[in-house]
C-alpha cells in the first residue's frame, strides 16, 4: 500500500508531498522504507568534514534511496548470521551514520539493538553485556579489546564485528528468563536503552516499535513554533544516539517528514556555529550546557548568520534564555520527556507565552494527563512544588511509554504505582497552567527542613565569570542534616589558598544576592573536572559520593560562617 498523500510543497526544484505512514507500517524499518519510497532522492543523512575526520569516514550526504540500499545489504548479512526476534545486538558506534543503518537493518528482521556509549569502560561494559545478553557487538576495532575483556569478565560469548562487516555468525543465545519480547509489529522490542546512570546503576528500558513511531508522529504533528516543514528541514544534533533525544526524536522526526539528519560526534563549542552554517541547519537540538558555553564567547557580527528556525531541548539556564534568543535570533523551545515516557507524555513550550526565564516547559497537550503530587501525597496548589506524575489519556495509560525495565518487574511496578508514572522530577504549576521545572527529586538538598534544588544554586554560581563548570550536592552536617556543597571547576588554575578563599567568598556573596541565605554554599570545593555522562550531564551519584568526603580536602573552603539571614 503506498503512502497516503496529504499536502505538497516545493523543495530544490522537486515537488514533494507530505504523507502519513501507512497503517501497516508497525515497525521502525517499515516506516523508513515508506519514507525512502516517497523521497528517494532527498538527503537523509549528512556528515560534515569535521565529523568525518574524527571518525575516519567519508564526508557528504546519503540520500534516502542510498541509505535504503545499504540497509537492505546489511539486513541480508544479518539474516545469514542468524539475527531475528529475541536477538539483541550492541551498537558501539558513536554518532556514525552506520548506527542508524545497522539499527534499521536489524529492526527489519525483528531483532533489537542495545546502544552502547563510546565512553563506556570495562566495568560498565561488563554489566551491560551480562544484563542485556547481547549476541554481538558492532564497534570500531579500537573498542574490540574492551568489549572482549568485558565479555570474558561477564562470562558471556559475544561476536565482535566492525560496522563495515556484520558478524558471519552470531554467538549462541542463552535461554532467557527476562521476558524479552518476540512478538511482531509495534509491540516488539525495538531497542534496549539504558538510562544515563546519573543517580545509580543504569536500568535497561525496553522500547517497542510503537514507542519510536509515536515519537516521530508527535514531532511531525506538534506544530506551533516547533512546526516541521515537509521535506525541507535539516536537523543538526550533537547529542548521542545512545540517548532517546537523538535516537528517537531527531531520527524519527526526519523519517516522518522527509528531512535530513546531520549528526556531529559531539558538541564542539569552538566550531559549533561553523557547523551550523556549513550544514545549513534549520533545526538544532541542545542540552542546557550548550547555550551556557556559547554565551561565554564574545559577541560577533555573524551571530545571526545562520538558517536555524528553532532549537529543541531542555535545561537552558533561565538567566541566559532570553539573552541567547536575542543574541542569536531563534527560540530555544524547552521540552520535558524521559526515556521511560517517550511521546506517551512529552511536554513542550512551543507556543507563546513561553514564560522565558522561568524554567517553564509548557503545559500538557492532548493525550497527556499530569498531576503534581506533594510529599503529603496530595495534589499541589498553584506554585507549590511536587513530583510530576504522568500517564496517557488513551485506554491504555502506558500508551507510548517504555514497556518496562529489563529484568526488574518490581522497579517497573514501583514507577507505575497507582496507575501513574512517577517521574522523580519536581515541578510546579503556575496560575496560567504552565509547568515549571524545579529539579530532580534525588537532587534536592534537605537543610534544616528546607528543600534546596541543586540546579537552582548551580544556575546562579555558573554566572560568575571565574566559573567554568559547577555541580551542587549535599554533604552531611551534624546540626542541619545536610549542607550545600558546590564543586567548582575554575576558568583558570588557582594559585594558593588565599586565591581559593577569595573566589569562594565571591561566589557565596553572589548566591546571597540572588537566593535565600540557606541555599548559598556552606562549602566550596575547587576541582579539575566534574564527572559527566556521555551526553554531558552531571553524574549526580558520583558527585554526591565526592561531596560526602571532601570537607577535609585542602581544596575545600568552609563558607558556613557567611550564611546569615539578611533580616
157-184 pLDDT, tens digit per residue, is 999 999 998 999 998 766 554 544 555 6
At 367-383, the pLDDT tens digits run 999 999 998 999 999 99
206 DSSP β-pair partners: 192, 404
Stretch 256-265: mean pLDDT: 97
| CA separation for the pair 126, 322 (Å, rounded) | 44
Structure confidence at residue 123 as a pLDDT band (50, 70, 90): confident
| Pair 405, 423: CB distance under 8 Å | no
pLDDT at residue 208 is higher than 60: yes
User: 521 versus 534: which is more confidently predicted?
Assistant: 521
- Residue 45 to residue 98: CA distance in whole angstroms: 10
**Does pLDDT of 498 surpass 90?**
no
When comparing pLDDT for 439 and 536, which is higher? 439
Mean pLDDT, range 329-350, rounded to an integer: 97
pLDDT in tens, 342-398: 999 999 999 999 999 999 999 999 999 999 999 899 999 999 999 999 999 999 999
Q: How confident is the model at residue 224, as a pLDDT?
A: 95
Q: Give me the mean pLDDT over the 1-8 stretch.
A: 40
Rounded average pLDDT over 243-253: 96
Q: What pLDDT score was predicted for residue 201?
A: 63
CA distance 245 to 489: 27
Global pTM reads 0.83
What is residue 5's predicted lDDT score, i.e. its pLDDT?
A: 37
Please tell me the distance from the alpha carbon of residue 178 to that of residue 157, in angstroms, as a whole number: 18
pLDDT band at 275 (very low <50, low <70, confident <90, very high): very high
User: Which grid coordinates are listed for 401?
Assistant: 511509554
CA distance 13 to 349: 34
Checking if the pLDDT of 7 tops 60, the result is no
What rounded mean pLDDT belongs to the chain? 90
Q: Which of 10-24, 257-271, 377-391 has the lowest mean pLDDT?
A: 10-24
C-alpha cell recorded at residue 134: 547481547
C-alpha distance from residue 126 to each of 75, 148, 191, 270, 531 (Å): 27, 9, 19, 35, 20
Residue 2 exposure: Cα atoms within 13 Å on the Cβ side: 8
Higher per-residue pLDDT: 317 or 235:
235
Phi, psi of 76 (to 5 degrees): -65, -40
- Give pLDDT, residue 88: 96
CA–CA gap between residue 85 and residue 533 (Å, rounded): 31
The C-alpha cell that represents 28 in the structure block: 521502525
Per-residue model confidence (pLDDT) at position 21: 64
- Note whether 231 and 5 are within 8 A (CB): no
The predicted pLDDT at position 537 comes to: 78
**What's the number of CA atoms in the CB half-sphere (13 Å) around residue 215?**
29
pLDDT at 422: 97
Which pLDDT value is given to residue 514?
84
| 198 has pLDDT over 60 | no
Q: What is the pLDDT of residue 174?
A: 61
Q: What is the DSSP string of 145-203?
A: HHHHHHHHHHT---EEEBTTB--SSPPPPPPP-S------GGGSEEEEEE---SSSS--
Residue 427: count of CB within 10 angstroms of its CB:
22
Share of the chain above pLDDT 70, in %: 92
Domain limits, the chain: 448-562
408 φ/ψ angles, rounded to the nearest 5 degrees: -150, 70
pLDDT of residue 434: 98
CA R_g for the chain: 24
In degrees, rounded to 5, the angle at the alpha carbon of residue 82 between the alpha carbons of residues 77 and 85 is: 110
- Which range, 376-390, 470-484, 536-550, is most confident? 376-390
Question: Which pLDDT does position 183 carry in this prediction?
Answer: 57
**Does position 19 have pLDDT exceeding 80, yes or no?**
no
pLDDT higher than threshold 70 for residue 15: no
Contacts 24+ apart (CB under 8 A), 216-219: 216/21, 216/31, 216/248, 216/252, 216/253, 216/255, 216/256, 217/21, 217/256, 217/343, 218/343, 218/346, 219/249, 219/252, 219/253, 219/256, 219/257, 219/343
Q: Which residues contact 43 (CB under 8 A, 6 or more apart)?
A: 61, 62, 63, 64, 260
At 534 the pLDDT is 67
DSSP per position, 310-370: EEEEE---HHHHHHHHHHHSS-EEEEE--TTTTTTT-EE--SS---TTTTB-----TTEEE
Cell of 501: 578563599
Query: Is pLDDT larger for residue 104 or for residue 456?
Result: 104
Backbone φ and ψ for 90, nearest 5 degrees, come out as: -80, 140
Class of domain 448-562: alpha beta
CA-angle at 222, arms to 219 and 224, nearest 5°: 130
CA distance 542 to 151: 25
Model confidence over 23-55: pLDDT tens digits? 678 999 999 999 999 999 999 999 999 999 999
pLDDT (0 to 100) of residue 176: 53
Among residues of the chain, what percentage have pLDDT more than 90?
Answer: 74
Q: Is residue 519 within 8 Å of residue 565, measured between CB atoms?
A: no
* 97-107: average pLDDT: 98
Measured over the CA atoms of residue 175, residue 178, residue 184 and residue 188, the dihedral's sign is negative
* Residues comprising the chain, all counted: 567
The pLDDT of residue 178 is 56
pLDDT at 427: 96
* 162 Cβ contact list (under 8 Å, min separation 6): 138, 139, 140, 141
Q: What confidence tier does 540 reach under pLDDT thresholds 50, 70, 90?
A: confident
Q: Using CB atoms within 10 Å of the CB of residue 182, give its burial: 0 to 12 exposed, 13 to 18 middle, 19+ buried.
A: middle
pLDDT at 415: 96
Q: What is the DSSP string of 10-68?
A: EETTEEEEEEEPPTT--SHHHHHHHHHHH-TTSEEEEE-HHHHHHHT---EEEEHHHHH
Amino acid at each position: 500500500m503506498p503512502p497516503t498523500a496529504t499536502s505538497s510543497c516545493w523543495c530544490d526544484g522537486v515537488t514533494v508531498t507530505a504523507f502519513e505512514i501507512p497503517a501497516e507500517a508497525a515497525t521502525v524499518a517499515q516506516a523508513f522504507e515508506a519514507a525512502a519510497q516517497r523521497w528517494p532522492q532527498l538527503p537523509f543523512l549528512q556528515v560534515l568534514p569535521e565529523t568525518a575526520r574524527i571518525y575516519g569516514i567519508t564526508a557528504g550526504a546519503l540520500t534516502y534511496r542510498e541509505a535504503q540500499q545499504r540497509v537492505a545489504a546489511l539486513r541480508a548479512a544479518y539474516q545469514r548470521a542468524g539475527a531475528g526476534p529475541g536477538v539483541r545486538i550492541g551498537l558501539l558506534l558513536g554518532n556514525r551514520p552506520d548506527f542508524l543503518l545497522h539499527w534499521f537493518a536489524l529492526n527489519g528482521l525483528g531483532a533489537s539493538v542495545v546502544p552502547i556509549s563510546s565512553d563506556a569502560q570495562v566495568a560498565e561494559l561488563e554489566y551491560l553485556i551480562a544484563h542485556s545478553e547481547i549476541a554481538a557487538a558492532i564497534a570500531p576495532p579500537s573498542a574490540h579489546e574492551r568489549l572482549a575483556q568485558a565479555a570474558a569478565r561477564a562470562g558471556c560469548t559475544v561476536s565482535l564485528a566492525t560496522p563495515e562487516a556484520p558478524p558471519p555468525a552470531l554467538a549462541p543465545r542463552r535461554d532467557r528468563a527476562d521476558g524479552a519480547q518476540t512478538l511482531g509489529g509495534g509491540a516488539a522490542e525495538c531497542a534496549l536503552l539504558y538510562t544515563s546512570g546519573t543517580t545509580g546503576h543504569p536500568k535497561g528500558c525496553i522500547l517497542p516499535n510503537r514507542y519510536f513511531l509515536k515519537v516521530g508522529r508527535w514531532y511531525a504533528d506538534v506544530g506551533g513554533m516547533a512546526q516541521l516543514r515537509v521535506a525541507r528541514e535539516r536537523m543538526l544534533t550533537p547529542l548521542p544516539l545512545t540517548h532517546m533525544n537523538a535516537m528517537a526524536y531527531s531520527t524519527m522526526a526526519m523519517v516522518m517528514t522527509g528531512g535530513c539528519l546531520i549528526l556531529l560526534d559531539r558538541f564542539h563549542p569552538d566550531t559549533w556555529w561553523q557547523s551550523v552554517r556549513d550544514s545549513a541547519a534549520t533545526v538544532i537540538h541542545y542540552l542546557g550546557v550548550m547555550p551556557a558555553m556559547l554565551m561565554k564567547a564574545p559577541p560577533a557580527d555573524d551571530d545571526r548568520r545562520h538558517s536555524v528556525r528553532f532549537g529543541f531541548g531542555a535545561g537552558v539556564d533561565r538567566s541566559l534564555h532570553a539573552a541567547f534568543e536575542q543574541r542569536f535570533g531563534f527560540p530555544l523551545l524547552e521540552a520535558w520527556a524521559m526515556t521511560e515516557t517517550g511521546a506517551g507524555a512529552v511536554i513542550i513550550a512551543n507556543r507563546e507565552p513561553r514564560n522565558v526565564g522561568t524554567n517553564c516547559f509548557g503545559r500538557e497537550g492532548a493525550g497527556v494527563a499530569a498531576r503534581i503530587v506533594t510529599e503529603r501525597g496530595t495534589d499541589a496548589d498553584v506554585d507549590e512544588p511536587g513530583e510530576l506524575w504522568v500517564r496517557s489519556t488513551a485506554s491504555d495509560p502506558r500508551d507510548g511509554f517504555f514497556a518496562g525495565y529489563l529484568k526488574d518487574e518490581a522497579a517497573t511496578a514501583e514507577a507505575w504505582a497507582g496507575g501513574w508514572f512517577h517521574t522523580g522530577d519536581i515541578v510546579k504549576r503556575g496560575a496560567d497552567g504552565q509547568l515549571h521545572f524545579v529539579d530532580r527529586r534525588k537532587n534536592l538538598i534537605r537543610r534544616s527542613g528546607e528543600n534546596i534544588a541543586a540546579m537552582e544554586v548551580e544556575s546562579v554560581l555558573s554566572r560568575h565569570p571565574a566559573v567554568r563548570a559547577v555541580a551542587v550536592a549535599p554533604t552531611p552536617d551534624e546540626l542541619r542534616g545536610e549542607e550545600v556543597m558546590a564543586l567548582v571547576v575554575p576558568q583558570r588554575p588557582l594559585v594558593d589558598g588565599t586565591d581559593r578563599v577569595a573566589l569562594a567568598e565571591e561566589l557565596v556573596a553572589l548566591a546571597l544576592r540572588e537566593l535565600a541565605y540557606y541555599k548559598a554554599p556552606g562549602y566550596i570545593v575547587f576541582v579539575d573536572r566534574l564527572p559527566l555522562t556521555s551526553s554531558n550531564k552531571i553524574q549526580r551519584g558520583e558527585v554526591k559520593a565526592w561531596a560526602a568526603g571532601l570537607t577535609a580536602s585542602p581544596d575545600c573552603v568552609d563558607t558556613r560562617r557567611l550564611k546569615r539571614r539578611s533580616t
